[in-house]
Amino acid sequence: TQHPAKVEPLRVCVTGAAGQIAYSLIINIANGTVFGPEQPVILQLLDIAPALEAMKGVEMELYDCALPLLAGIVLTTDPLEAFRDVDYAILLGAMPRRAGMLRKDLLKANVGIFQVQGAAIDAVAKKTVKVVVVGNPANTNALVCSHYAPSIPKANFSALTRLDENRAKSMVAVRAGVAVDQVKNVIIWGNHSNTQYPDVAHAHITRDGARVAVEEAIKDEAYLHGEFIKAVALRGAAIIAARKLSSAMSAAKAVVDHVRDWHFGTRSGEFVSMAVVTDAHAAAAYGIPEDLCFSLPLSIKEDGHYEVVAGLPVSDFARGKLDATVAELEEEKAEAFAHIEYLAAVKK
C-alpha cells in the first residue's frame, strides 16, 4: 500500500475470526477506529478448520471494503502462524453460552483452547504482545493463557470487562438523564460473571458543566446496591434470552474501547476497568490475592503501561462484593488447572 507507508504496520491477531463478534470487530480494526487513522494494520485471522470457508468469506468482504489502512491479511487454522510477531492478540475463539448456562459452564469446553494458544503466543508472538481474552469464562481463560506463556510479562494479559463497564455507564446515563460520555469512573470489580461488582461509589457525571457524584445524581442506594448491580451482571443472559445468541455488536464495541485505551492511554483523572493478572500491588491496594485475573480500575499511560488506581475507599458493602467475586475466581482457577491436569492424564 502507498498510503501512510512511513508507519510500520501493527500485526493484530483475531481468533474466532469467522464468528459473530469478529464480524463486528474486524472492520473497526481495519478502518482505523481502534489504532487511529494513521496506523496501518496486518490482520492475522485464526479459526478452526470447519470455519475456514466462512473465514474466507470474511476475507473477501475485507478486500471489498477497500480499506487503505489494511496492509495485509493472513488467514490460517494454525495458531503458530496466527500469532507470529503479533503486537495484539484478541482471543474471541471459543464456545459461547446458550440460555440457561452460566459462563463458567464453558470452562471445560474452552480452557484447553487458551492453554494451547498461550503456548503458541509464548513461542511466536512479540514479547511485547498485548493479549485480550474475550472467550468465556474470560478471566480464567486469560489467567490460563498467561500461565502457558511464561516469557511474556503477566501485565500483558487481560480479559474483557469493558462490556460490563459500558452497560453500567449506559444505565447510569439513562437514570441520571445525561449523555453516556458524561459518565466517568464507573468500576467493574472482579469476574465477568454474575459475581462481578459494578461500582458507582467513585463515579461522577457532568451535568450543565458541573461535576456531580453518581450517588448524588441518583439518590437511591437501594437501586444502586440492588437492581442496578443485578441488571449489569445479568445483561449478558438477558441478551441471550432475547436474541438466542450472545451479545456480539456490543461485545465488539467493548473490545474496540478496551484495545484503543490500552494503545493510547486514558485521560488524566479518568480510569477504565480491565481484568488483569493481580500482583503484589493489587493485593496491597485492595486485598485481592495474587495471580487471579481480576477486573480493577486502571489508569493507562500513553506507552500502554498501566497502574491500578490505588487508595479508593472500600466500604463494608464493597468488601463483601469483592470477597465474593474473589472466591468465585479462586474456584474457577482451581477447576481450570485440575481440568488441564485431567486432560494431560487422559492423553497419556
Catalytic residue among 3, 147, 192, 258: 192
Residue 83 and residue 102: Cα distance in Å, rounded? Answer: 30
Residue 70 and residue 315: Cα distance in Å, rounded? Answer: 48
Please state the closest distance from residue 283 (CB atom) to ligand LMR, in A.
26
Considering only 110, 115, 117, 136, the residue that binds ligand LMR (CB under 6 A) is 136
Residue 239 interacting entry, from ligand NAD, ligand LMR, none, C-beta within 5 to 8 Å by type:
ligand LMR
Please state the closest distance from residue 206 (CB atom) to ligand NAD, in A.
27
Residue 125 and residue 88: Cα distance in Å, rounded? Answer: 9
Judge whether 47 is annotated as a binding position.
Answer: yes
Considering only 11, 103, 104, 130, the residue that binds ligand LMR (CB under 6 A) is 103
Residue 16 as a binder of ligand LMR (CB under 6 A): the answer is no
Judge whether 235 is annotated as a binding position.
Answer: no
Q: Where are the alpha helices (DSSP H) in the chain?
A: 20-30, 52-64, 79-82, 107-124, 138-147, 162-176, 214-217, 221-225, 227-233, 235-243, 249-264, 280-286, 316-347
Q: Please confirm, yes or no, whether 192 is among the known catalytic residues.
A: yes
Judge whether 243 is annotated as a binding position.
Answer: no
- Complete DSSP assignment for 43-54: EEEE--GGGHHH
Judge whether 319 is annotated as a binding position.
Answer: no
Please state the closest distance from residue 95 (CB atom) to ligand NAD, in A.
6
Q: Judged by CB under 6 A, which stretch of 9-17, 75-83, 172-180, 240-248 contacts ligand LMR?
A: 240-248
Nearest to 254 by CA among 97, 90, 89, 125: 90
Which residues are CB-neighbours of 246 under 8 A, at least 6 positions away?
20, 96, 97, 236, 239, 240
Residue 333 and residue 88: Cα distance in Å, rounded? Answer: 24
Residue 247 as a binder of ligand NAD (CB under 6 A): the answer is yes
Helix axis angle for 249-264 and 20-30, nearest 10°, is 40
Please state the closest distance from residue 18 (CB atom) to ligand LMR, in A.
18
Q: Which residues are catalytic?
A: 192
Binding site for substrate, by residue number, is 97, 103, 136, 167
What is the contact surface with ligand NAD in residues (CB under 6 A)? 15-16, 18-21, 46-48, 51, 92-97, 113, 134-136, 138, 160, 163, 192, 246-248, 251
What is the contact surface with ligand LMR in residues (CB under 6 A)? 96-97, 103, 136, 163, 236-237, 239-240, 246-247, 251
